[in-house]
Chain A
């Protein structure tokens, strides 16, 4: 293969790997925003907690002598359940009591919860970096020639993300739960009148978003091999950017926004300079919002009267 082409593909896979994590995280922001018009600033911390739970259970699996696949499944499963529980409790404790409060109030509690969770993990665990077990070591090697531009773990992250996205699409578009979610997004009062348990659906949305964040956290932590209590911060900002880029409130847009953002950063680092990686990411955001204020796939809705 031409060396330049292999390099280009490699940079794209770097971007798609990172973009996958942004996409999984952005979905959490966008699902919650779609239903509650609330930006859940504590989402990055749920991601971080997912990574820590994955770490603890992967370590446990190693002690129990589990095989690599079983160990990865245990870490991922535990992270999903645990982060989901955090999402559920977060909504119960911090957002539900403020359902009828002015919109600024839940925003402030969101920031408060974000700080609280981060400090909690620092006190309960450590402020230092800790090594994350290499869950992907047992992956089979790729066919001859592929190694020039992609790692097995990158392919695994991308494929798992696409599978999760497809599952989410089925859930939102073709299940009763999804129908209820979409109806609340349109008009919560009407949904309530039609007999939908709005609080239950909102809880479910938080659990779902948190579980997606946990999947992203475990996948990328196993890839880079280290975590600490602050890892949720930058990912949170980037994923929020991705959600806005795609059109906040639209799950398809969040997924697309995440991948586009990841690719932009990667191409900027690969062909220009990694100094300006973040600059280019936000430049693309500004350009897209200039020409499509509602985001890539967002619809420009007239203000509700």
Chain B
């Protein structure tokens, strides 16, 4: 008899330890993005930042009296894997999802979340059509879209670099080509001559022929729309072949790997990327907490933290997991986040977070504090 009583106690203890105390189900939130593959450096820091935010929230008692449970999904930035991941998250009945990392993967997964009415908040997918098309009312992002970036790039090229001739290269992807097309349009509006607009295949053996073509055209500036692996390959081969043009890209290249692999070849390279947040107090403390765990916020970690913060605030405000109420609350509320005070416009784009122009100087990205005229 004594033994049986003991075992009952043990059973209760186990239940209590598991976060489903008193039979209350966990509140599930999905985290989807590139956790493996070439682009894992863009997807892993956001995941780590969300894990940190969720841990902090759970310590304070979670949301709606329930513990938050994160469901992680790896899409390696591949559309087909993103679709599988989205289906998995829908099956897990998540309340909302933070992700995905890349625009192409996000675009592929969006219809699935749309059908299931699951709000999606991406810290890094910057392709303009995701929000501007108006097809996905449950989609939000805590990063400005590429059109904002493209305008800034074009302003920098005309106002600071004062270039008249430009070559635009892209990686044929949703992000790279999308950004390149927007920069191309913005440059033409400012009557800059675009000598060449061409795509390269990521992963090709080399880009030697294209680089000889660029050298022959001798532009003042080369714009590359894409990610850092191709960027380093192109710029280092260009330097080998004696091209002196200045290079500029979007946030897809602003990664430590870019500096590590490109070494001297990327010195002087320009990149637009979300503004430096070292003055925002919450950003400081989150960065410090991540570093305590041996992690770093990367490019999009703070944006992911902000996305999670905005979502948690919305759920707490409406005291419900109803997607329509969450959506409405996200649209109207102002949130203090790692990005400063942010809100969302009617398209779902973030208001209050912006881009800066950086340059590689002495092996680090330096914010040039460029203010367009």
Contact = CB atoms under 8 A, between A and B. Distances in A.
Given A151-B240, A226-B261, A275-B199, A128 B40 contact: yes
Interface stretch (A29-37, A247-255, A266-274): A266-274
Contacts, number: 102
Chain B contact residues: helix, strand, loop or mixed? helix
A122 B209 contact: no
Contacts of B216: 3, 7
Secondary structure type dominating chain A contacts:
helix
B198 A273 contact: yes
A230 B38 contact: yes
Interface of B: 36-38, 40-41, 172, 198-201, 203-210, 212-213, 216, 228-229, 232-233, 236-237, 240-242, 257, 260-261, 263, 265
A170 interface: no
B78 to A, nearest CB: 12
A15 interface: yes
A238 B240 CA distance: 25
B261 A234 contact: no
A18 B205 contact: yes
A269 B40 CA distance: 30
Contacts of B198: 273-275
A22 B210 CA distance: 18
Contact of B210 (A122, A147, A267, A274): A274
A285 interface: no
A129 B38 contact: yes
A266 B209 contact: yes
Interface stretch (A68-76, A84-92, A217-225): A217-225
Given A226-B229, A277-B201, A270 B37 contact: no
A224 B262 CA distance: 10
B203 A234 contact: yes
Contacts of A18: 205-206, 208
B40 A17 contact: no
Given A224-B237, A225-B265, A270-B213, 11 more contacts: A3-B216, A7-B216, A127-B36, A128-B257, A224-B206, A225-B232, A225-B233, A266-B208, A270-B210, A277-B201, A278-B201
A265 interface: yes
A230 B203 contact: yes
B142 to A, nearest CB: 25
Nearest to A19: B205
Contact of A127 (B37, B172, B205, B237): B37
Interface of A: 3, 7, 10-11, 13-15, 17-18, 21-22, 122, 127-131, 147, 151, 153-154, 220, 223-226, 228, 230-231, 233-235, 238, 265-267, 269-270, 273-275, 277-278
Contacts of A231: 203
B228 to A, nearest CB: 8
A129 to B, nearest CB: 5
Contacts of A15: 209
A129 B257 contact: yes
Contacts of A131: 260-261, 263
A226 B233 contact: yes
Contacts of A270: 209-210, 212-213
B27 to A, nearest CB: 31
A270 B196 CA distance: 12
Contacts of B172: 275
Contacts of A228: 38, 229
A127 B206 CA distance: 20
Nearest to A21: B205
Given A266-B209, A269-B210, A269-B213, A151 B233 contact: no
12 contacts: A3-B216, A14-B206, A127-B37, A127-B38, A128-B257, A151-B241, A223-B206, A228-B229, A269-B213, A274-B198, A274-B209, A274-B210
B206 to A, nearest CB: 5
Nearest to A18: B205
Contacts of A235: 205
A238 B208 contact: no
A234 B232 CA distance: 18
Given A127-B40, A226-B261, A11 B229 contact: no
B194 to A, nearest CB: 14
B206 A234 contact: no
Nearest to B233: A224
Contact of A129 (B36, B201, B229): B229
